[in-house]
Amino acid sequence: MRACPPAETLRAARRDSTLRARDLAASLNVSEAALVAAHTGAPAPFSVTRIAADPDVLMPNMARLGRIMSLTRNDSCVLERVGTFGDYHSGAHAAFVLGKEIDTRLFPKYWTYGFAVEEETAKGLRRSLQVFDRYGEALQKIYLREESNTEAWAPLIAELRLDDQSPEIDPHAPPAPEGARPAPGKREALVAEWRKMTDTHQFNRICTRLGMNRLGAYRMAGAPFARRVAVSAVADWLEAVSAAHQRVGFFVGNRGHIQIHWGTFDTLKPMGPWLNVLDPEVNIHLRNDHIAEVYVVEKPTKRGPATSIEAFDARGELIFQCFGQRTETDETLDGWHAILDAIPSLREAAE
């Protein structure tokens, strides 16, 4: 377990700080979930109610809130998507919400702590549902907007409210990053299995069977399966996708949740180390300085090659994946492939 100061100490720290909760928690060497939990039962301006974190209990009710903003992040990328939740599909290993606006994949075993948060801000009352894993790290946050169904909030929280309203929790210490895990001597087997894929979801099973992880497999396979490109290519790639109005599927996730934006990147606003997409329905905030390795990856499927660009941080953690979005008018994704083909390989970029 990670040692945690008393709830009142954390409340006082938050009152005296202008930092975001995630950054404040890091500065205090506590988990963000512990910082949020400390305000359970507290009065305004920051009050918290502990709620069920079980996706089967929580997610079927999200459509009641109407149009919301769903936020998923990791240490290097934040994806904020505006929309309405569609149908929830339960699963012991993986559950999902499929919709034109909100598209997510959930891994229930990690959904440990749930909170309903009400915060008084200069712009008015901000309401959110926040879910964290056993390590106290955020998995998903759902924020109400001006157009949300605010009348559904109070009865929903009453239904989801836990009997345990303790302001203190005991998250586990997070595990060390795995880093790249190749399997020496198994490149031939990897390539043979790679060529036989008919669905991108088969890739993880191949890696597990061969005793490697995603980044380890990419390093071993090399071009043309996983072509390493320069880190600087990401900014240029974003510009090219935006200029071409290319529709994409942009995946951002953490150990317990993946969210996908389907559509274009219209408004780019770089700011310091951040590469930002600031569109009405989607905001993306990407720490360009965290990117350590980038690959253009091609996997065979029944519909033709699925080609993605994927970025990893210095610890070997996946930051994002992005695929071209097939549509009725763009089935072959020629424009998407042209954008990726124009990115020079790492060795070429250095020359």
Q: Where are the domains of the chain?
A: 7-85+112-160, 187-270+287-350
pLDDT one-digit tens code per residue, 228-266: 999 999 999 999 999 999 999 999 999 999 999 999 999
Q: Which CATH superfamily is domain 7-85+112-160 in?
A: HemS/ChuS/ChuX like domains (3.40.1570.10)
Task: List the structure tokens of 317.
Answer: 């953690």
One fold for both 7-85+112-160 and 187-270+287-350? yes
Structural element, H or E, at residue 80 = strand 77-84
pLDDT at 331: 86
- 327 three-class SS: strand
pLDDT one-digit tens code per residue, 19-29: 999 999 999 99
Could you give the dihedral angle defined by the CA atoms of residues 136, 142, 145 and 147, in that order, rounded to the nearest 10 degrees?
Answer: -160
pLDDT one-digit tens code per residue, 270-325: 999 999 999 999 999 999 999 999 999 999 999 999 999 999 999 999 999 999 99
What are the angstrom distances between the C-alpha of 50 and each of 139, 165, 320, 335? Answer: 16, 6, 30, 47
**Mean pLDDT within 108-113:** 98
CATH number of 187-270+287-350: 3.40.1570.10
